[in-house]
């Protein structure tokens, strides 16, 4: 018959006269595997650039620092007298309040910058960069000790004994530097080596006890911190040991000029040769972890000690070697303190809390050598700039400690940082895209 038939919605357009079948039934048939065929899984959706950035550890670190600075800014504003005064008539003139907040926060962080990087009020460039040299000086022992903490972290050991290792190293280096009479160069080298050995022995003791007895390194390092502190106090109070001759004060004699680190850029700046040693130590740790067989064993044990043991790696020896090196690095920090920063003599507080701050720096640097180096410089800047903040703006130094604490808190909780900045949304979309149904083909 010549009559037209109704168009089948499951087929192609009837008007084109081709009678081409639509995808509905045929697509389903094509998607089904033929006899003997196998399912083919399409490639997963590639994560977007935004998703990669949001999940990056570098992003989390930067945002943690931002949150720390925000917390510090809030405390600066809250404790500022002008802000408190303008808050009393906030609803009458809110602009005064916000202007006072801006002046307080900008003034505080401006003073921090000028006290740690560059002082724009200085008459020339060479005097203007003196704060930067102070920053690097503060960072020198901090980086060294943090390298020791970070190296232990990479092996799966939580080394919080940086303080004890620094104290023993400072005692050893200080004894060589203050009591021996040797030529310049040789005297300095022996003092540094004494510090390295002292720190290595104190750290290696932790590795040995853990390997032989299974004792937890956290308990060991805490106890050895106390032992090191009171042992140093005993040495400083006992005539004939470390106490300065003809003195009743718990302090050693000053370091001999032949043992003191020379100033890198002259007497105009405080930056000393210890900073060069720290750079070399950072390069060494990077090479050790990424280019050496021992570093491979370190990383393998840190990832999975049981699998490493099955693979034939002597895990106990790795623990001993790692803590020996970690202690030596912390010992370099102690030696740089007594031979470079505080050359007037060893005291029981020679570590200045650096051993504990090193844990923060290692966490901020993600236990990576150059990340630790950058984090150490950052914390050195906060330390150097805090004095300028207090002198110029009357801001308590403790606020800088709060900034550091907030940064560590955020670093320890990456999901919290991502939630605050809504960074989980791209990750959820990428995860949803990766769970698309599988398609089978011949």
Is residue 363 predicted with pLDDT exceeding 60? Answer: yes
pLDDT score of 285: 97
119: which 2 tokens?
């002082």
Least confident interval from 199-213, 316-330, 349-363: 349-363
Q: How far apart are CA 332 and CA 198, in angstroms?
A: 10
Is residue 433 predicted with pLDDT exceeding 60? Answer: no
pLDDT score of 170: 95
Interval 176-213: pLDDT, tens: 999 999 998 899 999 999 999 999 999 999 999 999 99
365 closest CA partner among 70, 62, 138, 141 = 62
Residue 404 is assigned to a structural domain of this protein: no
Phi-psi category of residue 206: left, alpha or beta, with phi > 0 → left and psi -120 to 50 → alpha: alpha
pLDDT score of 432: 55
Q: What are phi and psi of 367, to 5 degrees?
A: 60, 20
Residue 179 is assigned to a structural domain of this protein: yes
Is residue 427 predicted with pLDDT exceeding 80? Answer: no
Q: How many domains does the chain have?
A: 1
pLDDT score of 283: 98
What long-range pairs does 296-305 form, CB within 8 A, spacing at least 24? 298/151, 298/154, 298/155, 298/322, 299/154, 299/155, 301/155, 301/156, 302/153, 302/154, 302/155, 302/156, 303/156, 305/156
Please give the C-alpha separations between residue 348 and each of 129, 165, 173, 240, 353, in angstroms, as whole numbers: 32, 13, 14, 17, 11
Where is pLDDT greater, at 37 or 143?
143
pLDDT score of 428: 55
The residues, ordered by sequence, that sit 6+ positions from 27 with a Cβ below 8 Å of its Cβ are none
Domain region containing 372: 138-376
| For the chain, percent of residues with pLDDT exceeding 70 | 83
- Please check whether residue 86 is in contact with residue 77, taking contact to mean a CB–CB distance below 8 angstroms: no
Read off the pLDDT band of 431 (50, 70, 90).
Answer: low
Is residue 394 predicted with pLDDT exceeding 60? Answer: yes
Residue 216 is assigned to a structural domain of this protein: yes
Helix axes 162-179, 130-154, angle to 10 degrees: 120
pLDDT score of 45: 57
Residue 228 is assigned to a structural domain of this protein: yes
Is residue 438 predicted with pLDDT exceeding 70? Answer: no
pLDDT score of 9: 43
Read off the pLDDT band of 414 (50, 70, 90).
Answer: confident
pLDDT score of 407: 87
Stretch 359-375: mean pLDDT, rounded?
Answer: 93
Is residue 19 predicted with pLDDT exceeding 70? Answer: no
Is residue 270 predicted with pLDDT exceeding 80? Answer: yes
Read off the pLDDT band of 372 (50, 70, 90).
Answer: very high
pLDDT score of 429: 55
Stretch 159-168: mean pLDDT, rounded?
Answer: 95
Question: How distant is the alpha carbon of residue 101 from its chain centre?
Answer: 31
pLDDT score of 50: 67
Residue 401 is assigned to a structural domain of this protein: no
Q: Is residue 11 classed as helix, strand or coil in its secondary structure?
A: strand
Average model confidence (pLDDT) across the chain: 86
Read off the pLDDT band of 18 (50, 70, 90).
Answer: very low
pLDDT score of 392: 84
Q: How far apart are CA 42 and CA 433, in angstroms?
A: 12
221 closest CA partner among 149, 305, 172 = 149
Least confident interval from 98-107, 199-208, 405-414: 405-414
Stretch 145-157: mean pLDDT, rounded?
Answer: 96
Least confident interval from 132-141, 258-267, 360-369, 417-426: 417-426
Interval 36-56: pLDDT, tens: 555 555 566 566 766 676 677
pLDDT score of 441: 43
Please give the C-alpha separations between residue 230 and each of 164, 204, 225, 226, 235, in angstroms, as whole numbers: 10, 19, 9, 6, 9
pLDDT score of 397: 87
The most confident of 55-59, 331-335, 396-400, by mean pLDDT? 331-335
Interval 218-269: pLDDT, tens: 999 999 999 999 999 999 998 888 888 888 889 999 999 999 999 999 888 9
305: which 2 tokens?
């000690």
206: which 2 tokens?
């932790």
- Please check whether residue 345 is in contact with residue 174, taking contact to mean a CB–CB distance below 8 angstroms: yes
Residue 122 is assigned to a structural domain of this protein: no
Is residue 164 predicted with pLDDT exceeding 60? Answer: yes
134: which 2 tokens?
């102070």
Helices (H), 184-292: 186-213, 217-237, 274-291
Q: Residue 31 carries which DSSP code? A: H
Residue 160 is assigned to a structural domain of this protein: yes
pLDDT score of 108: 92
Is residue 172 predicted with pLDDT exceeding 90? Answer: yes
Read off the pLDDT band of 5 (50, 70, 90).
Answer: very low
């Amino acid at each position: 018959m010549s009559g037209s038939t109704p168009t089948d919605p499951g087929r192609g357009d009837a008007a084109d006269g081709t009678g081409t079948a639509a995808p509905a039934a045929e697509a389903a048939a094509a998607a089904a595997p033929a006899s003997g065929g196998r399912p083919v899984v399409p490639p997963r959706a590639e994560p977007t650039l935004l998703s990669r950035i949001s999940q990056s550890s570098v992003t989390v670190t930067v945002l943690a620092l931002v949150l720390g600075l925000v917390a510090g800014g809030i405390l600066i504003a809250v404790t500022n007298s002008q802000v408190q005064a303008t808050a009393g008539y906030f609803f009458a003139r809110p602009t005064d309040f916000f202007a006072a907040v801006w002046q307080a926060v900008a003034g505080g962080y401006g003073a921090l910058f000028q006290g740690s990087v560059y002082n724009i009020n200085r008459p020339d460039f060479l005097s203007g960069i003196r704060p930067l040299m102070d920053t690097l000086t503060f960072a020198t022992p901090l980086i060294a000790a943090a390298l020791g903490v970070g190296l232990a972290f990479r092996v799966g050991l939580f080394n919080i004994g940086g303080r004890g290792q620094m104290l023993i190293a400072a005692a050893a280096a200080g004894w060589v530097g203050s009591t021996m009479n040797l030529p310049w160069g040789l005297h300095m080298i022996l003092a540094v080596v004494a510090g390295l050995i002292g720190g290595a022995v104190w750290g290696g003791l932790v590795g040995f006890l853990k390997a032989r007895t299974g004792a937890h390194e956290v308990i060991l390092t805490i106890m050895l911190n106390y032992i090191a502190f009171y042992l140093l106090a005993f040495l400083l109070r006992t005539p004939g040991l470390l106490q300065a001759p003809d003195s009743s004060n718990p302090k050693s004699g000053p370091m001999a000029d032949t043992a003191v680190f020379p100033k890198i850029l002259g007497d105009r700046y405080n930056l000393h040769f210890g900073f060069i040693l720290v750079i070399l130590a950072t390069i060494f740790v990077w090479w050790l972890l990424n280019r050496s067989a021992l570093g491979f064993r370190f990383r393998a044990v840190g990832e999975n000690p049981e699998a490493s043991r099955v693979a034939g790696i002597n895990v106990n020896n790795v623990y001993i070697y790692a803590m020996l090196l970690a202690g030596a690095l912390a010992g370099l920090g102690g030696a740089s303190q007594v031979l470079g920063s505080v050359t007037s003599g060893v005291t029981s507080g020679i570590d200045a809390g650096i051993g504990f701050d090193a844990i923060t720096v290692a966490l901020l640097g993600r236990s990576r050598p150059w990340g630790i180096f950058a984090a150490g410089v950052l914390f050195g800047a906060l330390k150097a700039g805090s004095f300028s903040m207090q002198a110029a703006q009357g801001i308590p130094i403790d606020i800088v400690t709060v900034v550091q604490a907030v940064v560590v808190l955020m670093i320890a909780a990456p999901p919290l940082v991502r939630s605050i900045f809504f960074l989980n949304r791209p990750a959820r979309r990428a995860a949803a895209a990766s769970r698309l149904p599988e398609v089978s083909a011949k």
